[in-house]
Structure 1
Amino acid sequence: MASNFLFEANKLLRQHCTNSFATKSERFKTIRLIDRQLVELGFKGVALKGLKTRHVEALIAKWQEDRLNPGTIKNRMAHVRWLSEKINKVGLVSSSNAKLGIENRKYITNNNKGVTLTQMQLNLIPDQHLKMSLRLQTAFGLRREEAMKIQPEKADHGDHLVLDASWCKGGRDRIIPILTEAQRQVLNEAKQLTQGRSLIPAQRTYVQQMKRYENTCIQINLGKGHGLRHSYAHQRYLTLTGFDCPAVSGIRVRRLTTEQKAADKAAREIITRELGHGRIQVTAVYLGS
């Protein structure tokens, strides 16, 4: 039986829907985790509106003791702040992660995390919709949710794709240029396959198709599929600058010439927008520094 905390939190989730299924799913998982960990920390029977600063501080301390990545803690805190806003307790937790003792994210690793989708891997996938989603990810650097929810007919605007906010993380429209014949070909094939629909087959839900995606990526040794976005970013950087990004070349930005540094900065701004991120720093995860 669900606790009062979890029951009330779920009511709020249903009342305040988000465009992104992924965000809603992560929010629910975080809330369920918080409910369980509050009990483990000795706070039994905490009602949602009884949530206090000491509860939040205890959770942060536990997550830090568990040596969680700062990015993971910050993501959880975003959901805590969402909860506090919905129960009219905006002052429950500081808006500054630094004041809460949470370290900055370590975005930059300078590791090449790009992966290549091979024809051999594609041949192992019987699901034509799923196969097309992976091809679109490769061609346009889409997130996996976007590569399933996209309606190719609607997205095609001639020389660029327009991704509807309802398909994207954070609920923001996004524009991605169509620059190559390979991109045009895969998009045309996607339009022919879907006939005005999305890349989620009519007989399946998004959740069911996502599960098939995850299982298939494991089966064909593609990990979580995120490496396809890394490879897209690497190729765009090369096209825009004429040289490989630090994650590929191993050459740090500080060693570039003045002219190369200017090209690097301009390319990062473009790629940040195309990947659907709001901050240029995040793109360093893909490109290195």
Structure 2
Amino acid sequence: MRKYSLRQTANQYLKLGNQGSYKIRKQRAYVIRKMIDDLYTIGDVPFSWKNIQSHHIHQLVAHWKNNKMRTSTIMNHMTIVRHYLTSIDCSIPNIDNKSLQLSKTTRKRKRKLKIQHDHWQSWENPIPRLIMALQTEFGLTFQEAIYIKPEINIQADSIWITRNIAFNSLDRTIPIRFETQKAILNEIKMLTDGKSIAEFNDYEDTKLAWRKALKKHALPISKAYRYLYAKQMYQYLLPILGKYETYWVIRTEMGIKSRDSLWRYLNE
């Protein structure tokens, strides 16, 4: 009988209340009817809307929480409930979000990784140091970095990434512009005796050494670091070539087809 009485009043309100779009009116009706049904489920239905007290609302919110309803959904429901109760002249104290212990959890903003393209120079272990150097100074992927062979891929004035090791199975060439790049390639030749890093050091051992180095320097393991090459080349080439040609050169050297991918690299 109590449930019927509450429903009757609510139905009259919903019939007369035409504020908002169809979707808003449907949501309003759903929440108010759910409120009545859930008060009945709890076993504490007031005689009428005039008899509803703050403890009814607190029990209702606790019931929703126990049923794993999201906090944001409960807060949206309560906005409708409070508006409805005010509309039928039923003001109840202590049913604001704070009193009901409702608050939206704010997501922590992702901390931007601060790392320079020459970060590798401070690394002690030569294997991960050279892998990082090849990513940040030549724009190679991890797999490309560990599989280039000095006698095949290192040319006099460039690195030739052949399709058998390229991430996109397409040949590409990265020119040698700086003395730092020459020093990196010379070190690889001396260290690996003409072999690729993966052949010289074993693939699994190389991966392990790489992960240990990243952990030591507090860097994410799953991240690709060749974006630092894109940022470095953008700063270097922009005054020389202009924006359009700089973008084209970087995408060509890194094997990037999508402009969106380049934009993400430059804004990492």
TM-score with structure 1 setting the length: 0.48
Where do residues 263-278 of structure 1 align in structure 2 (5 Å cutoff)? Answer: 263-278=242-257
Sort the Cα spacing of 1:280 and 1:112 in 2 relative to 1 into closer, same or farther, 3 A.
farther
Where do residues 1-289 of structure 1 align in structure 2 (5 Å cutoff)? Answer: 115-116=115-116, 117-118=118-119, 121-123=122-124, 125=125, 128-202=126-200, 204=202, 206-224=203-221, 226=223, 228-242=225-239, 263-288=242-267
| Cα displacement (A) at 1:203 | 5.5
| Cα displacement (A) at 1:201 | 4.6
Sort the Cα spacing of 1:185 and 1:120 in 2 relative to 1 into closer, same or farther, 3 A.
closer
Which structure's CA Rg is the greater one?
2
How far apart are the structure 2 equivalents of 1:140 and 1:222? 19
- 8 Å CA contact 2:150, 2:196 repeated in 1: yes
How far apart are the structure 1 equivalents of 2:213 and 2:151? 26
5+ residue gaps, structure 2: 1-110
How far apart are the structure 2 equivalents of 1:234 and 1:286? 7
Query: Residue 171 of structure 1: SS of its match in structure 2?
Result: coil
Letter in 1 for 2:227: H
How far apart are the structure 2 equivalents of 1:229 and 1:153? 23
Query: Residue 198 of structure 2: SS of its match in structure 1?
Result: coil
RMSD over aligned Cα, in angstroms?
A: 2.8
Deviations 1:97-142 (A, max 9, x none): xxxxxxxxxxxxxx9756224367402x3xx333222222222121
| Cα displacement (A) at 1:179 | 0.6
Query: Residue 188 of structure 1: SS of its match in structure 2?
Result: helix
Deviations 1:116-170 (A, max 9, x none): 24367402x3xx3332222222221211111111112321221111012222212
Query: Residue 173 of structure 2: SS of its match in structure 1?
Result: strand
How far apart are the structure 2 equivalents of 1:113 and 1:154? 35
Sort the Cα spacing of 1:221 and 1:197 in 2 relative to 1 into closer, same or farther, 3 A.
same
Deviations 1:198-223 (A, max 9, x none): 0125462x244224322321222232
How far apart are the structure 1 equivalents of 2:245 and 2:221? 29
How far apart are the structure 2 equivalents of 1:188 and 1:208? 22
Runs of 4+ off more than 6 Å: none
5+ residue gaps, structure 1: 1-110, 244-261
TM-score with structure 2 setting the length: 0.51
Query: Residue 189 of structure 1: SS of its match in structure 2?
Result: helix
Query: Residue 226 of structure 2: SS of its match in structure 1?
Result: helix
Corresponding residue of 1:4: none
- 8 Å CA contact 2:136, 2:227 repeated in 1: no
Sort the Cα spacing of 1:147 and 1:225 in 2 relative to 1 into closer, same or farther, 3 A.
farther
Sort the Cα spacing of 1:166 and 1:119 in 2 relative to 1 into closer, same or farther, 3 A.
closer
| Cα displacement (A) at 1:172 | 1.6
Sort the Cα spacing of 1:213 and 1:228 in 2 relative to 1 into closer, same or farther, 3 A.
same
Query: Residue 219 of structure 2: SS of its match in structure 1?
Result: coil
Deviations 1:80-104 (A, max 9, x none): xxxxxxxxxxxxxxxxxxxxxxxxx
- Which structure exhibits the higher relative contact order, with contacts defined as CA atoms closer than 8 Å and separated by 6 or more residues? 1
Q: Taking every aligned residue pair, what percent have the same amino acid on both sides?
A: 25
How far apart are the structure 2 equivalents of 1:271 and 1:112? 23
Equivalenced residues, count: 157
Sort the Cα spacing of 1:239 and 1:209 in 2 relative to 1 into closer, same or farther, 3 A.
same
| Cα displacement (A) at 1:236 | 0.6
How far apart are the structure 1 equivalents of 2:226 and 2:217? 17
How far apart are the structure 1 equivalents of 2:262 and 2:119? 25
Corresponding residue of 2:80: none
- 8 Å CA contact 2:120, 2:132 repeated in 1: no
Letter in 2 for 1:233: A
